[in-house]
């Protein structure tokens, strides 16, 4: 190793007497050191001159300071890059938050008893001879660790240095169970399915955020050294070895983490075959029962099911192995996936390794996933190939249950009632139009006249339309579950149609969705809006990243010309949320709905940060979660912030109906029945 390639590592993992014991500290720290010192991964030498790479346990603050300074001096003497990791309890103090690592005798709230991580990193990165610093901070409040910009750009080196930080949590937020260290260990162990030979901060962060436990990681990159070749944390094992074995990156990472705890001294293979998994399964089954053995057994069982499932998908339904199809199936089964999908095995192993523990194994979740994929592509759910797979992996019973439930749900979704308040002036109508759709096509149409132009009149005619549709549903032997109610913006802002009473509220009996009535018959000059909305929905569904809703403050919505310019020129293409109720401003609603198929606004008081956070966290369950929140609130449960929000949330079936209506209306005036 040349001086330019030299890398040192020091992992400091400390408990604090005054804080809850970190149960996984030992395993997490040792596993992290193992990958960082592996010649084929982290390629780091010990950070201390005496050959130590890890300080672990009941460490005093003075001991931590002394070891860190020694590691910095040693790296400077050798001209090495220094990788430093801090695992433990963290606190923040000061007007400008500063992270303190709590040692064994540290007192929460007393800065003098703890280790100032900001100062420590600042001294390390400014030390002459150190080629750069990579920091891993796995504590609460971790994002308070970076040195200030002034500290980085001045000092002995005049800013000619490099610092990359990977931090487990934002300021004033907790980190849990050392999840960052565990997930990072798995990623470095398995590598990433990209062409990169070395894994830097950006790539690792993108993949870490794909997992629920590490979605909130925070990063900082500073590079002021013109001679720097870039800092990295690991060599990419997939770039060197490829990814052709029976287990993919996610599976290898989960399995490796368990095996490092069960067999700490055993060398592990880079790739696994099915026979290796089964051999290991038999070996582990012979061990005494411990929580570590159980963890590995679960991982092995899930990965064997996953390997068989991947084989089924590749042989029987290869046309479904596209990113949109996999994402749709994951959403249908309620699995929260973020980040890129490199191959179908990513999705399958995610389902296998993140199944509900209450179900005992991954088989029910995997059955739901396979059925969702097959149903989406209109495959025969009784196909011999799928049933052979279900039998082979021991999932025949859950598979049959899912098939029955899917067929019942499909039967219930065959009918859809669309009701429009016919209101050219935008106020309460004198007629209502209704369409009963069967399998997406218009089955019957009716017009309900003599409607008193008032809320009471509209509600009475709406109930009449629902009863008309229910009578037809009985004749068809089907259930009516879904009702779309198309409204002008003026009424949309002051009326909740799901609260209309017909015995109980309509929203208790049906999936009621408010719609924007202009989509049904766009005026001249606006006939592009539905095609535009479908394109926007496709873009939202294809995103690899977290929900990117743009929340508009009142000042932004008042700047109408600027807002129009942003919408027209593609600078505002995300779903939109309003932080303040539009009140008597239907023009704003019409402007926004022309450009977005997803719009949210507060029903009463102004929107708050918790509303934005809930929308982001529960994105995959929307818009159904809105109606669920309303139902809970009707029963007296006021705990769900989603009940404070209203929304217009278009879907593809609704938009296709609107486009079809527009084609008939504008091209064949006499064809509507």
* Residues 306 and 445 both lie in one domain: no
Backbone angles phi, psi at 116, to 5 degrees: -75, 100
How many structural domains is the chain composed of?
4
342 and 474 in a single domain? The answer is no
pLDDT, greater one: 487 or 667? 487
> Comparing 76-90, 247-261, 500-514, 653-667, which segment has the lowest mean pLDDT?
653-667
Residue 1, pLDDT score: 41
The span from the CA of 67 to the CA of 46, in Å, is 12
Tell me whether residue 16 is in a domain.
Answer: yes
Query: Has residue 176 got a pLDDT over 90?
Result: no
Mean pLDDT lowest among 116-120, 205-209, 487-491: 205-209
- Closest to 467 in 3D by CA, of 490, 441, 448: 448
d(CA 550, CA 487): 24
| 166 neighbors 204 (Cβ within 8 angstroms) | yes
Residue 75 pLDDT exceeds 90: yes
**In the listed set 356, 373, 402, which residue is the last one of a domain according to the structure?**
402
Which pLDDT tens digit goes with each residue over 212-249?
667 789 999 888 775 555 688 988 876 644 444 678 77
In this prediction, residue 231 carries a pLDDT of 83
Q: What is the mean pLDDT of residues 65-75?
A: 95
pLDDT above 70 covers what percent of the chain? Answer: 92
Using the 3D structure, point to which of 402, 431, 456 is the last residue of a domain: 402
Specify whether the CB–CB gap between 132 and 162 falls below 8 A. yes
Predicted local confidence at residue 656, as pLDDT: 92
Higher pLDDT, 2 or 366: 366
Residue reference for tokens 């999908």: 341
Mean per-residue pLDDT, 401-430: 89
Whether the pLDDT of residue 668 is over 60: the answer is no
Rounded mean pLDDT of the chain? 87
How are beta strands 415-422 and 431-438 bridged, if at all? antiparallel
Q: What is the CATH number of the domain that holds 125?
A: 3.40.50.1460
Between CA 156 and CA 158 the distance in angstroms is 6
Residue 408 lies in a domain: no
Measured in Å, how far apart are the chain's first and last C-alpha atoms? Answer: 81
Give residue 151's pLDDT. Answer: 82
Residue carrying structure tokens 């005026």: 523
The CATH number that applies at residue 462 is 3.30.420.40
Residue 357: the pLDDT is: 83
Does the structure show a pLDDT above 70 at 392? yes
Q: Name the residue with tokens 């990243």.
A: 545
**Given this model, what pLDDT does residue 580 score?**
93
Question: Could you tell me the two tokens for 653?
Answer: 């079936």
Q: Provide the CA 157 distance to its chain's centre, in angstroms.
A: 40
For 257-275, the pLDDT digits (tens) are 788 888 877 777 777 888 8
pLDDT in tens, 356-382: 888 989 999 999 999 999 998 888 899
Per-residue confidence (pLDDT) for residue 159, from 0 to 100: 79
Q: What is the predicted pLDDT for the residue at 193? A: 62
Give domain status of residue 46, yes or no.
yes
The pLDDT tens digits of the residues spanning 275-316 come to 888 889 999 999 999 988 998 999 999 999 999 999 888 888
Residue 409 confidence (pLDDT): 82
pLDDT digits (tens, 9 = 90+) for 444-497: 999 999 999 999 999 999 999 999 999 999 999 889 999 999 999 999 999 999
Mean pLDDT along residues 560-570: 92
Residue 259 and residue 145 share a domain: no
Q: What is the pLDDT of residues 328-354, one digit of tens each?
A: 888 888 776 666 677 888 899 999 988
pLDDT for position 5: 67
Residues 364 and 253 in one domain: yes
- Looking at the domain assignment, is residue 407 inside a domain? no
Average pLDDT estimate for 49-70: 94
| Residue 382 within any structural domain of the chain | yes
Residue range(s) defining the domain that contains residue 499: 413-520
Residues 111 and 84 in one domain: yes
> 418 pLDDT band (50/70/90 cuts)?
very high
More confidently predicted of 258 and 400: 400
Evaluate whether residue 558 is within a structural domain: yes
Check: CB of residue 294 under 8 Å from CB of residue 285.
no
Answer yes or no: do 462 and 544 share one domain: no
In terms of domains, do 276 and 384 share one?
yes
Residues 354 and 426 in one domain: no
Burial class from Cβ neighbours inside 10 Å (0-12, 13-18, 19+) for residue 426 reads: middle
Other C-beta atoms closer than 10 Å to the C-beta of 591 total 17
Please report the pLDDT score of residue 195 as a whole number.
Answer: 59
Does one domain contain both 304 and 394? yes
Give residue 505's region: left, alpha or beta (phi > 0; psi -120 to 50).
beta
CA distances from 528 to 26, 489, 570, 579, 670 (A): 60, 19, 15, 28, 23
Report which of residues 230 and 523 the model is more confident about.
523
Residues 257 and 202 occupy one common structural domain: no
Say whether both 513 and 600 belong to one domain.
Answer: no
The whole-number pLDDT of residue 241 equals 45
Q: 């303190």: which residue's tokens?
A: 100
pLDDT at 237: 74
Distance CA 658, CA 673 (A): 16
Residue 71 in any domain: the answer is: yes
C-alpha pair distances (Å), 21 with each of 11, 56, 65, 177: 18, 13, 22, 11
| Six-digit token string for 236 | 């990419």
Tell whether the model's pLDDT for residue 42 goes beyond 80.
yes
CA dihedral for 638, 641, 647, 651, sign (positive or negative): negative
Picking from 349, 377, 402, the residue at the C-terminal end of a domain is 402
| 478 & 585 share domain | no
What's residue 673's pLDDT? 27
- 282 falls within a domain: yes
pLDDT tens per residue, range 591-603: 999 999 999 999 9
**320 CB-side CA count, 13 A:** 26
């Amino acid at each position: 190793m040349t001086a330019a390639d030299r890398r040192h590592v020091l992992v400091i993992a400390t408990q604090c007497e005054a804080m809850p014991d970190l149960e996984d500290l030992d395993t997490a720290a040792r596993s992290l050191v193992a990958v960082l010192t592996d010649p084929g991964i982290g390629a780091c030498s010990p950070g201390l001159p005496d050959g130590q790479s890890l300080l672990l346990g009941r460490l005093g603050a003075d001991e931590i300071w002394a070891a860190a300074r020694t590691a910095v001096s040693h790296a400077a003497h050798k001209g090495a890059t220094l990788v430093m990791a801090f695992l433990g309890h963290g606190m923040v103090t000061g007007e400008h938050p500063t992270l303190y690592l709590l040692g064994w005798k540290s007192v929460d709230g007393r800065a003098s008893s703890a280790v100032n991580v900001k100062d420590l990193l600042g001294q390390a990165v400014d030390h002459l001879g150190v080629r750069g610093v990579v920091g891993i901070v796995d504590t609460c409040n971790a994002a308070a660790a970076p040195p200030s910009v002034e500290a980085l750009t001045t000092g002995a080196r005049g800013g000619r240095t490099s610092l990359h930080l990977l931090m487990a949590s934002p300021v004033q937020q907790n980190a849990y169970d050392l999840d960052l260290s565990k997930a990072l260990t798995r990623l470095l162990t398995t590598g990433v399915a990209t062409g990169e030979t070395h894994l830097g901060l950006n790539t690792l962060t993108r993949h870490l955020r794909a997992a629920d436990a590490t979605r909130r990681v925070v990063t900082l990159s500073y590079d002021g050294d013109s001679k720097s070749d870039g800092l990295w944390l690991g060599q990419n094992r997939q770039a060197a070895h490829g990814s052709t074995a029976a287990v993919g990156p996610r599976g290898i990472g989960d399995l490796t983490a368990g095996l490092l705890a069960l067999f700490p001294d055993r060398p592990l293979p880079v790739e696994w075959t099915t026979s290796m998994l089964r051999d290991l399964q038999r070996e582990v089954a012979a061990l005494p029962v411990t929580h570590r053995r159980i963890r590995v057994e679960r991982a092995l069982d899930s990965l064997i099911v996953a390997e068989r499932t991947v084989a089924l998908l590749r042989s029987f339904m290869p046309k479904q192995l596209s990113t949109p199809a996999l994402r749709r199936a994951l959403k249908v089964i309620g699995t929260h996936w973020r980040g890129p999908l490199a191959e179908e095995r990513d999705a399958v192993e995610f389902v296998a390794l993140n199944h509900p523990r209450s179900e005992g194994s991954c088989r029910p979740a995997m059955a739901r996933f396979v059925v969702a994929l097959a149903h989406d592509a209109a495959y025969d759910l009784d196909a011999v190939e799928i049933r052979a797979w279900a039998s082979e992996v021991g999932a025949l019973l859950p598979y049959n249950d899912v098939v029955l439930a899917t067929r019942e749900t499909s039967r219930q979704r065959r009918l859809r009632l669309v009701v429009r308040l016919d209101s050219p002036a935008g106020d309460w109508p004198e007629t209502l139009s209704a369409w009963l759709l069967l399998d997406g096509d218009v089955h019957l149409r009716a017009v309900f006249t003599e409607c008193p132009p008032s809320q009471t009149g509209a509600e009475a005619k709406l109930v009449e339309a629902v009863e008309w549709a229910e009578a037809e549903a009985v004749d068809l032997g089907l259930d009516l579950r879904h009702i779309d109610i198309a409204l002008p913006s003026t009424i949309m802002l002051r009326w909740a149609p799901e609260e209309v009473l017909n015995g109980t509220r309509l929203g208790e009996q049906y999936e009621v969705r408010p719609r924007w009535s202009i989509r049904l018959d766009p005026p001249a000059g606006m006939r592009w809006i539905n095609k535009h909305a479908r394109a926007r929905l496709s873009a939202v569904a294809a995103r690899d990243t977290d929900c990117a809703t743009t929340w508009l403050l009142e000042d932004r919505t008042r700047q109408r010309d600027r807002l129009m310019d942003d919408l027209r020129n593609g600078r505002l293409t995300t779903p939109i949320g309003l932080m303040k109720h539009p009140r008597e401003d239907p023009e704003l609603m019409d402007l926004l709905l022309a450009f977005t198929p997803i719009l949210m606004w507060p029903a009463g008081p102004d929107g708050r940060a918790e509303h934005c956070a809930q929308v982001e966290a529960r994105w995959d369950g929307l818009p159904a979660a809105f109606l669920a929140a309303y139902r809970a609130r009707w029963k007296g449960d006021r705990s769900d912030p989603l009940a404070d929000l209203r929304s217009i949330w278009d879907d593809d079936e609704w938009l296709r109906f609107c486009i079809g209506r527009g084609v008939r209306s504008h091209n064949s005036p006499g064809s509507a029945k």
